[in-house]
Amino acid sequence: MKPENEKLIDDFLAHADDLGDEIVTDVEKMLGVVPFIFPILRDRPESFALSTLADYRFSRPDSLDPKTAELIAVAAAAGAGADSCLKVHIGAALKEGASRDEILDVLLIAAMIGKTRVLASSLRRFREVCGDGREAEE
């Protein structure tokens, strides 16, 4: 990396603790809670600042309104089986104006995709082992 870029990064990381404080405050306002992983990750201030700043920016893209972003986070958390994240993002979606029905529909869509993923994978193996059933007709 060019020395001038190294200097920019070093200057940025010199403020990692202050940035971390601001990120925690902003995320708490956004989600209504401080994720339980934050205090542990704060043991590495530079990594925490870089990682959570990126996540913060990803979670609120300019192309989506906050409610839509939270509904997507709900679906992603459900699909990942991230129960704690799911609870946090359901609360954040409500805070951003999502209705109970919208959240339920998001969860049902996520479940349908999850079911389809299991079926697609397992039925491919089933077909490989058992055939497609057409042999019995002949």
Are the CB atoms for 32 and 60 separated by under 8 Å? no
Does the pLDDT of residue 103 top 90, yes or no?
A: yes
pLDDT digits (tens, 9 = 90+) for 45-62: 999 999 999 998 999 999
Segments forming the whole domain that contains residue 90: 63-138
What's the CATH code of the domain at 80? 1.20.1290
**Domain C-terminal end among 13, 28, 59:** 59
Per-residue pLDDT, averaged over 65-93, amounts to 96
d(CA 48, CA 23): 9
68 shares a domain with 133? yes
**Domain C-terminal end among 34, 59, 84:** 59
pTM of the model: 0.82
Per-residue pLDDT, averaged over 71-96, amounts to 96
* 3-class secondary structure, 38: helix
Per-residue pLDDT, averaged over 108-123, amounts to 94
Q: What is the pLDDT of residue 133?
A: 78
51 shares a domain with 68? no
85 shares a domain with 53? no
**Domain C-terminal end among 59, 78, 106:** 59
